[in-house]
Amino acid sequence: QVQLVESGGGLVHPGGSLSLSCVASGSIVSIYAMSWHRQAPGKEREFVASITSGGHTIYKGSVQGRFTISRDNSKKTLFLQMNSLSPDDTAVYYCKAVIEDTIGWTEDHWGQGTQVTVSA
């Protein structure tokens, strides 16, 4: 069984910073693309940023230059450094990973989410 566990969310003032982490564990053979998504109240879940196993990154336009996605393959960990946060960034943040397990299945796995609230 594969699990993704996020951490690092919380309350921050506008202009502040937060760092999120997501650790993968379980019967893992390989981790391919990893990504962050978010869902604000009353809105659909949206893509934030992704990173391939080789380190190629893609960002949602509104976070480009403020957020940095990275990963540590040896620790099966995904990171999201968020700077210059605004109230529009308030959401539950989810990590997703494409994982091949020991049974031979390759599929998407999601974490449970971590709340990020940006408020004065």
> Tens-digit pLDDT profile for the chain (120 aa)?
899 999 999 999 999 999 999 999 999 999 999 999 999 999 999 999 999 999 999 999 999 999 999 999 999 999 999 999 999 999 999 999 999 999 999 999 999 999 999 999
- Which residues are registered as beta bridge partners of 79? 21, 70
Amino acid at 92: V
Asked if residue 32 lies in contact with residue 52, where contact means CB atoms within 8 angstroms, the answer is yes
Q: Return the SS3 of 62.
A: helix
Quick check: 118 and 86 in contact, CB under 8 A?
Answer: yes
What token pair was written down for 51?
């990173």
* pLDDT in the model for residue 22: 98
Please report where in the chains the tokens 């390989």 appear, as a residue: 30
The C-alpha atoms of residue 99 and residue 84 are separated, in whole angstroms, by 32
User: What pLDDT was estimated at residue 42?
Assistant: 94
Backbone angles phi, psi at 31, to 5 degrees: -115, 125
Are the beta carbons of 81 and 70 closer than 8 angstroms? Answer: yes
Q: Which two tokens stand for residue 107?
A: 């599929």
